[in-house]
Structure 1
Amino acid sequence: MIKKFTMHSYEDTISLGIKLGHLTKNKMVFILEGDLGAGKTTLTKGIAKGLGIDSTVTSPTFTILKIYKGRLNLYHFDAYRLEGVSHELGFEEYINQDGLSVIEWSNHLVDLLPSELLKIEITYIDDETREITLTSMGEQYDDLLKEL
């Protein structure tokens, strides 16, 4: 199933993220695709709010992973620097733990991703506008999109 949304502001993107966070179930995986500055971390901030996380969410570019505590743990990955990485990092251990894994630049970890996930593509239209395309891969993600 595919759903598309046009976001006309930062606040719209946060709002969509909050809705996603509210609908998230344990052990889900969201992959975020989009150019630098498209709004991947902004959407993740909204998701965190929807999970009841009060901490300030920032891009984990230099740390690779940031963990936030809320209704569900949020494992926020940035795989930008991990091209060609092996299984030795323990990535799979995190995505199999209780919580939600949100992965930016997942194309660097394709061989390690589960077959069922929610793919979120963010396209920069202009300074304020983004198109967000959500593609569900698996029944629980179909259900999430039906509720959204």
Structure 2
Amino acid sequence: MLTLQAKNEDETMWIAGQLAELLEPKDVILLEGNLGAGKTTFTKGLAKGLGIETVIKSPTYTLIREYTKGRLPLYHMDVYRLEDVGGDDLGFEEYLYGQGVSVIEWAEFIEEELPTAYLTIRLVPTGELYESREITFLPTGERYEALVGKLKEMLTKEG
């Protein structure tokens, strides 16, 4: 586990960009946080770190947004609308086991579709105006334990 403080959106995006440098095909990131917690901002930072220059928008009403013009494809999913129906037969495995990075918001609604290993990132607004964020990286599985260790090492050097 690793917990970081970001003072503003720029720092949130910078931290995400650092993580992006370590990502590989088939990586799965679950973003947790209330409305306005910074999930889309974090995803924008990931995209930038992957070399994706397209405008990143929340996939709330589209379910999945695909960004393919970067070092790796980025699949940004918001599965909140599947709360009552689940994700059976929607083809999530094509994304989760494909050649890109899957970023999933509200993943608890498709738990049965998730791989056994993934990285959960919890975003919690802090400060008087909620402009800062506490960002916690919770790895599940060896790949993500190592990833968080590398990120911590990378950020310590940047320090």
Whole-Å separation in 2 of the counterparts to 1:45 and 1:28: 17
With 126-135 and 94-103 compared, the bigger mean Cα shift is at: 126-135
**When the two structures are superposed, what TM-score results if normalisation uses the length of structure 1?**
0.96
Structure 2 unaligned spans of 5+: 152-159
Taking the TM superposition and a 5 Å limit, the aligned residue runs for 1:1-148 are 2-69=1-68, 70-83=70-83, 84-126=85-127, 127-148=130-151
Deviating 4+ runs (over 3 angstroms): none
Partner residue in 1 for 2:156:
none
Aligned length: 147
Deviations 1:27-75 (A, max 9, x none): 1000000000000000000000111101011100000000001111000
CA RMSD of aligned residues (A): 0.9
Whole-Å separation in 1 of the counterparts to 2:47 and 2:94: 21
User: How far apart are residue 86 of structure 1 and its match?
Assistant: 4.0
Whole-Å separation in 1 of the counterparts to 2:110 and 2:148: 24
Whole-Å separation in 1 of the counterparts to 2:93 and 2:119: 17
SS of the aligned residue for 2:81 comes to coil
Whole-Å separation in 1 of the counterparts to 2:142 and 2:18: 19
Structure 1 unaligned spans of 5+: none
Matched to 1:27, the amino acid is K
Matched to 1:101, the amino acid is S
User: How far apart are residue 139 of structure 1 and its match?
Assistant: 1.5
State the identity %: 45
